[in-house]
Structure 1
């Protein structure tokens, strides 16, 4: 079995379409992972993944890039806070927000804390999705390490977390603001009627055709004047092709 055949096996067994990823980059990462776990061929690796649930999860974590932080890129996130305030002024109602590829929940919970600060008492609809069901269960628990929360302002830590030993336990009010669901950005249908979509540091791993398809579907999922917030390395150079205008360096508004 070669790496192309391995991609086909992963689609069948895991339901993940690896053909959407940048091929050379992906194959280097898979070969690196195989080397780390001590297998010498793709066939050996498939046999390992079939019998070892722990290795299956390691592979899934490796492929789905579960790297995230609260308020990642704080200066950019502060700009996003200003855009959320604009959306509230424009809409004069609770917002419908999608945090796509949310990993351990740091991003949607960051949004929830901001909304609790700028519109206290308003019940916004924050939907957070990821294709990794195991990581979603971790997100739902709302338990974090110091490394996870290092970008959070002390006033937010004091207000929204309980520190027990080395764990930072998120307040139930903030947890209750977010609904977690399993979703694959490549294979699954998209919901609609969103005022805000946040998808950061994920699309960069996909090939250009898949990127364009995702941006097109994000645009269709947004209400008019809705905003798309992307990662600090993910400028959309052809944003007009998807019906966006630039609202900030990494924030786009649907026309």
Structure 2
């Protein structure tokens, strides 16, 4: 099934291509690597909300109106996550991967949560570092395209829904209960995480990273963008470094990237 059959837009197809090119050029936001039926449907919904008749008119207003652009960015990004998503995988990480990284790299260990959304994932990494008594100067780099979710992540306040996989003893150690349905991450856990805005499809990557987690992000990318992303992740890892992906994601050409599977959804770099 092609993407045209998944969604039929009432607006001009050629003008839509023009819109994506100009958004990339003007805002440094490249949406062309995402699954286009999802992207276009969301853009069209925003246009209908304000009764726009063409992509060109909409784009001209996006350039002039910060609130319109902020809404666009908010609606075009996907932000659904939770602490310890797939708990057995985090267990494996805690028992088998992080201790080795801490032993081999020590205080120079580099951990990157790519596409960190509202912060549950990087804070989960931070909790595991605390549980393993890692040196305080080992930080988790947490990046996302969306500046609004980064702002929310920095606040560190979460509903009960995000906490569903957090054991009670960890809730007591690492969270402050605000009310019956709201929790705040404690300040020493927040201090473990450094948030930064970053575009996975356009911006340069860190080098010699020990652990990259990018989970339930690439499912929104098309095949070419996925392949490029995994290639860049592999290049960013140091030899022996690990890429941790989501439970619905698999890297089929991992051997070509110098990776090997050490556990389902964990890929280790074995060669350059």
In the superposition, the TM-score normalised over structure 1's length comes to 0.89
Matched, 1:250 2:261: no
> Of residues 215, 221, 232 in structure 1, which corresponds to 2:236?
221
40 and 180 in structure 1: CA distance in 2 versus 1, 3 angstrom threshold:
same
39 and 124 in structure 1: CA distance in 2 versus 1, 3 angstrom threshold:
same
In structure 2, the residue matched to 1:235 is 250
Structure 1 residue 7 displacement after superposition = 0.8
In structure 2, the residue matched to 1:135 is 149
In structure 2, the residue matched to 1:68 is 81
Report which stretch shifted further, 48-57 or 66-75: 48-57
Unaligned runs of 5+ in 2: 1-11
In structure 2, the residue matched to 1:202 is 217
In structure 1, the residue matched to 2:200 is 185
In structure 2, the residue matched to 1:159 is 173
Distance across 2 between alignment mates of 1:176 and 1:215: 29
Q: SS of the residue aligned with 2:200?
A: coil
Do 1:163 and 1:169's aligned partners in 2 also have CA atoms closer than 8 Å?
Answer: yes
In structure 1, the residue matched to 2:69 is 56
Structure 1 residue 22 displacement after superposition = 2.4
In structure 2, the residue matched to 1:172 is 187
The structure with more radius of gyration: 2
Q: Deviation string for 1:69-127 (max 9, x for gaps)? A: 11122222222323333423651613210111111111110000011102354532311
State the number of aligned residues.
Answer: 255
72 and 55 in structure 1: CA distance in 2 versus 1, 3 angstrom threshold:
farther
Unaligned runs of 5+ in 1: none
Matched, 1:80 2:93: yes
> Of residues 75, 79, 91 in structure 1, which corresponds to 2:104?
91
User: What root-mean-square deviation, in Å, do the aligned CA atoms of Structure 1 and Structure 2 show?
Assistant: 2.3
Structure 1 residue 38 displacement after superposition = 5.4
Report which stretch shifted further, 28-37 or 152-161: 28-37
Structure 1 residue 4 displacement after superposition = 1.0
In the superposition, the TM-score normalised over structure 2's length comes to 0.84
Do 2:113 and 2:122's aligned partners in 1 also have CA atoms closer than 8 Å?
Answer: yes
